[in-house]
Amino acid sequence: MTIVDPVARAVPRDHPVTVLAWPAEADRAARARREGHAHLLLVDPDAEPPTARDALTDWVRLPVSDEDVLARLDALDRRPTSTDPYVDEHDVLRRGDRWVALSPVEARIIRVLLEHGAAVAGRRVIGAAVWPGGMPAGRPIDGRLPRLRARVATVGLRIHTIRSRGFLLAVADGDEVRETGHA
C-alpha cells in the first residue's frame, strides 16, 4: 500500500474527476489531458510537480488530508470543461484550445448569453448588463452582432436571433447546433 491508496479510497467512485499518482501515472495523466478529462495529481513527496497548466489539471503534494483532496476535486469539477466556452478576465473568449479576443462590450454580451445557457437572453437583459447606466439610443446590440457573430464563429459558436425575443448562443459542431449547456 502506498501513501496514495488511502487518499484515493476517500474519493467517491462516481466522482467525475480522476485521481492519479504523480509521477507514477504520468502516462495516464497525459492521456486524460488529451482526452479532455479533469484530473487531480497526487504528487509524490520527493517528486517535481507537473509543469503543464490547464483548466482540467490540478495537483497537490502528498501527504494531504482527505478534506483537501475532496475540496480540490470539487473545484476541478466546477471548472469549465475543455469544450465549455467561457470569457476570461482579459475578455478573451475561450473554447477548448481556440480563443478570440473581444472588446469589453462584446465580452459583456457574451457573458450574458453564456449565463442564460439554453434560454433566450432578451435585449433588455443584455442591455442592462452591458450598459448599467442605460442603453444607448437605437439598436446598439444589433449593431454589434455582425462583427461579434464572425468572432465567435472562430471558436465554433453561433449567435441566433430569436425574433421579438432576444438572442441565443449555441455551439456549432459542423452542421449540428446545440445550446451551450450553461445554466
Number of domains in the chain: 2
* Same domain, yes or no: 74 and 147: no
Look at 86-90, 102-106, 129-133 and tell me which has the smallest mean pLDDT: 86-90
- Segments forming the whole domain that contains residue 44: 4-78
* Same domain, yes or no: 172 and 94: yes
Q: Which residues contact 66 (CB under 8 A, 6 or more apart)?
A: 7, 10
Look at 62-71, 131-140, 146-155, 172-181 and tell me which has the smallest mean pLDDT: 172-181
Q: Do strands 39-43 and 57-61 pair parallel, antiparallel, or not at all (unpaired)? A: parallel
* Same domain, yes or no: 22 and 58: yes
Q: Which residues contact 95 (CB under 8 A, 6 or more apart)?
A: 83, 84, 85, 86, 155, 156, 157, 171
Copy the grid coordinates of residue 104: 469589453
Q: What is the pLDDT of residue 181?
A: 46
* Same domain, yes or no: 20 and 71: yes
- From 78, 104, 126, the end of a domain falls on 78
Q: Which residues contact 104 (CB under 8 A, 6 or more apart)?
A: 91
Which CATH number goes with the domain that contains 168? 1.10.10.10
Q: What is the pLDDT of residue 76?
A: 87
* Same domain, yes or no: 58 and 102: no
Q: Is 49 helix (H, G, I), strand (E, B) or coil?
A: coil
Q: What is the pLDDT of residue 7?
A: 57
Q: Is 170 helix (H, G, I), strand (E, B) or coil?
A: strand
Give 58-76 pLDDT, tens digit per residue. Answer: 999 999 998 999 899 988 8
Mean pLDDT of 94-118: 92
Q: What is the pLDDT of residue 158?
A: 96
Q: Is the pLDDT of residue 109 over 90?
A: yes
- From 78, 96, 117, the end of a domain falls on 78
